[in-house]
Chains A and B, each alone.
Chain A
Amino acid sequence: MSRLQASFETLKAARKTALIPYITAGDPHPSVTVNLMHDMVQAGANILELGIPFSDPMAEGPVIQLACERALKHNVSLTDVLGMVKEFRSKDNNTPIVLMGYTNPVEVMGYEKFAKAAASSGVDGLILVDLPPEEGADLISALKVNKIDMIFLLAPTSTDERMQLICDQASGFVYYVSLKGVTGSANLDVASVVKKVEQIRGHTSIPVGVGFGIRDAESAAQVASVADAVVVGSALVNRIAENADNPEEMSKQVCALLSSMREAMDK
């Protein structure tokens, strides 16, 4: 069984929802990322989403754009990101790790080379924001060979037809983008999320995660009542940015937010 599958099954048995924090690898400095990953697991994270920095992050709001810029100041490459996962794995072989980014760095490394390297580093899943299943066939098969899940996004604009097309190819979990907009937007509409998640469940039995616009314990708990996983990104990255010079305080702030979410979700 894959780490992702195991994690979702354990949580299901405990009637809990997965908490998935997103941070950009190497933000604000490559030296803080692996420690922060361990700390987040301690604070209640079940799965980690690690952003691959990209020069042109088209789906990100200003918060994660700046995180990419901070990481790229240190030339954090995809190879470096895989190195961080490997380092993390030396102490934690259970927590699933999903990489999230854009197609080009993976394309330039080469799909097969990436899939092999990612698998041997301990990566469990991949989200590429700008790679819909229509363009993903070659990468999906390379990942499959290496037992890495390709996690596709669903959006408020996805029709039933597209939901089916996407769910047919998805593995690990599907990721519902809760709003029309970029990461860090503030217009989360819980009622419409509930409806959409139900609609998605009509197409698939794999877990459904929800992300974009979840910023505090309250919104996390609301979404957790219908989803199998809650993804939080910009709210954490903000705390990283605010404490960029003080890794200890940074971790404290990030973990405080995660713990408060965990607590609210488990109520």
Chain B
Amino acid sequence: MKEDTCNDYYSMPDERGHFGIYGGKFVAETLMEPIEELRQAYEKVKTDEKFQAAFDKDLADYVGRPSPLYHAERWSNELGGAQIYLKREDLNHTGAHKINNTIGQGLLAKYMGKKRIIAETGAGQHGVASATVAARLGMECVVYMGEEDVKRQAPNVYRMKLLGAKVVPVTSGSRTLKDALNEAMRDWVTNIDNTFYIIGTVAGPHPYPAMVRDFQTVIGREAKRQILEKAGRLPDALVACVGGGSNAIGLFHPFLGDEDVKMYGVEGAGDGIDTPNHAAPLCAGSSGVLHGNRTYLMEDDNGQIIETHCVSAGLDYPGVGPEHAWLKDCGRANYVAITDKEALAAFHELTLTEGIIPALESSHALAYAAKLAKTMDKDKIIIINLSGRGDKDINTIAEIEGIEL
């Protein structure tokens, strides 16, 4: 379904927040004016030198950017194919790429004079990153988290509490990320006057998908500069995991115009995409409307959203950012899926060969890149977005493997 909107990968979203047929502003009337105010504020700060300088300074001095681009030589040799470089977002303050976005939105909240921050979280990384920013800006912070996720990500729940945030377990629906998002939307609509909603991925109504992307493209801009320095050329392929798609679009976007760079977004296949238990809307879903935008969804024939399954909470989401939906239809990026089992194997592989404990989300990207590398020559280059570190997942992994800590 290659449309003519695919001619220019930097032309999206259009004025109405559409990426081709995807995206848009599917929200209740109460939120229409607030998201318009947000859009206008964001448009202003985009070209505001003082704002951008403050953002860059925080990324450097507080987050610790640029994050290294690390040549995983030992693992590359073991795989026997392409050279693998890891973009080390796991080394960021708070341990994942999520902080890039929360720094940006936190500054915007301050700019807009908001005093209260709310956020949804799945793995807890975005919740921690939001709580971190709120602590630093002296703002109240409430984080919505599915009851299931509160259980599987206990260390992050405690971190958020230490940071002064209130964590609200969400007991409606499937009790995971999508329900946390519903609940955050309900809070937002109720407290619209003083509250800024920091969405953690490239989903939600316009301008969120574009705004979160813009805050995350620092990943791809750095990676491009770093690979040119280290290897003297652009990579052959980029690989990133896709929950909502923020770390993936952050890496992909600056390379979209480089036609020879292939891109692979990796979804959670759970027990397999031929089973009902997965979280792979791009690979096995269909188009629909959820959480403010039109995109690929996991849904049944009646338009009800289906419960997803993925070992990593951060990928356990039935939708995906609308720009990915568009890039898929354009054929610019490829979307694939990795099972829980494959991700767990890759988790151990990287830990043992490189001494890096990756997040379970990122392990999906690692597992796919490992397969891909084997099909490529040794002089080829793959950059993987190592979106987060795995400390938060050790309880989950121990439990799966029957080990008592």
A56 in contact with B182 (CB, 8 Å):
yes
Q: Which residues of B contact A106 (CB under 8 A)?
A: 303
The answer, yes or no, to whether B229 is at the interface (CB within 8 Å) is no
Which of B189, B294, B304 has the most chain A CB within a 10 Å cutoff? B304
**A108 with B32, Cβ < 8 A, contacts A56-B173, A56-B305 known:** no
**Interface size grouping (class) on chain B:** 35 or more
- B254, CB-defined interface residue at 8 Å: no
Q: Which chain B residues border A156 with CB–CB below 8 Å?
A: 30
B301 touches A108 (CB 8 A): yes
Q: How far is the CB of A239 from chain B (nearest CB, A)?
A: 21
Select which of B25, B34, B299 is within 8 A of A104 by beta carbon. B299
Contact A134 B29 (CB under 8 A): no
> Which residues on B are within 8 Å of A, measured CB to CB?
16, 24-34, 172-173, 178-179, 182, 185-186, 189-193, 286-292, 294, 297, 299, 301-305
CA–CA, A104 and B286, complex, Å: 11
Contact across chains for B186 and A58 when beta carbons are under 8 A apart: yes
Apart from the given pairs A55-B304, A56-B182, 6 other A-B contacts in the complex at a CB distance below 8 Å: A58-B28, A72-B304, A107-B303, A108-B288, A159-B33, A162-B29
Instruction: Check if A158 sits within 8 Å of B29, measured CB to CB.
Output: yes
User: A66-83, CB under 8 A of B: which get 1 and which 0?
Assistant: 000100100101110000
Evaluate whether A103 and B26 lie within 8 angstroms (CB atoms) in the complex, with A56-B178, A108-B288 already known: yes
Name 20 interchain pairs, CB-CB below 8 A, sorted by A: A54-B303, A55-B304, A56-B178, A58-B28, A61-B186, A77-B302, A104-B297, A105-B302, A105-B304, A107-B287, A108-B286, A130-B292, A132-B25, A132-B26, A152-B29, A153-B28, A155-B30, A157-B192, A162-B33, A182-B189
Interface majority SS (helix, strand, loop, mixed), chain A: loop
Is A177 interfacial (CB 8 A cutoff)? yes
Q: Assuming the A-B contacts A105-B304, A134-B16, are A58 and B33 also in contact, with contact meaning beta carbons closer than 8 angstroms in the complex?
A: no
Given known pairs A77-B302, A105-B303, A109-B303, the reply for A177 and B182 (CB within 8 Å) is no
Task: State the Cβ distance, B195 to closest chain A Cβ, in Å.
Answer: 11
Contacts of A181 in B (CB 8 A): 189-190
In the bound complex, residues from chain A placing their C-beta under 8 Å from that of B191 are 180
Chain B minimum-CB-distance residue to A132: B32
Q: Cβ of B304: which chain A residues have Cβ within 8 Å of it?
A: 54-55, 72, 104-105
Q: Is the CB of A132 within 8 A of B289?
A: no
Chain A residues near B (Cβ < 8 Å)? 54-59, 61-62, 65, 69, 72, 75, 77-79, 102-109, 129-132, 134-135, 152-159, 162, 166, 177, 180-182, 185
Smallest Cβ-Cβ distance to A131: which chain B residue: B26
| Most chain A CB atoms below 10 A, which of B186, B286, B291 | B186
A237 nearest CB across to chain B (Å): 15
Name the A residues within 8 Å of B287 (CB-CB). Answer: 107
Contacts of A55 in B (CB 8 A): 173, 304-305
- Complex Cα gap A152–B179 (Å): 25
Question: Are A103's CB and B28's CB within 8 A?
Answer: no
Contact partner of B192 among A105, A153, A180, CB < 8 A? A180
B288 with A107: CB separation less than 8 A: yes
Q: With contacts A157-B34, A180-B189 known, is A108 near B302, CB below 8 A?
A: yes
Contact B303 A155 (CB under 8 A): no
Residues of B within 8 A of A62 (CB): 172
A124 to B29, CA, bound (A): 22
